[in-house]
Amino acid sequence: MEIIHKETCVRFIPYAGQNDTYIEFIKAQGCGSQVGYRPNQDLPLQVAYNDYCLSIRGAIQHELLHVTGLFHEQCRPDRDNYIKVIWDNIQPQFRRNFIKGPDNYVTTFGLDYDYKSLMHYPRNAFSKRSTLLTMIALNDTEMELGQSDGPTFLDLEKVRRMYKCA
């Protein structure tokens, strides 16, 4: 939360029982959260985590960026200009994580594709075997994709533009 506070105008404040939207962290079997606040949704916004999630430096930051409204980078409507998704190598139950979002729902905010985004899965994510690639960069097939160290400048710039931070 600290880097989001420091680098954007988004603020997470302790919940004090009011009826505003809030985030609830729940122990679960995996890591996950929904993307963004939806006005008529049931409260709270939930961030699911387990011990594995807590062992990965940027995992909770990734989920908090979902809560702010960011989608996976590989789901951008223009992603086919930058990466190739190798559908045959993806476990069927996880293919939804690679579906492009529609232009009117997933925006690029006019920013470049971020191969190293915290919101980008690695190039073997959800593969049928760990040696199989599920995505490759078109301009460099050896390029590693994504990372788990923390948000990139472009990740934070998307949040700043989404929330119209000064």
3-state secondary structure of 4: helix
Q: Is 63 a catalytic residue?
A: yes
Single out the catalytic residue among 63, 142, 144, 157: 63
d(CA 91, CA 48): 22
d(CA 64, CA 44): 13
Asked whether residue 66 is marked as a ligand-binding residue, the answer is: yes
d(CA 153, CA 157): 6
d(CA 28, CA 77): 30
Q: Which residues are catalytic?
A: 63
Mark the binding-site residues for Zn(2+), compressed into ranges: 62, 66, 72
Mark the binding-site residues, compressed into ranges: 62, 66, 72
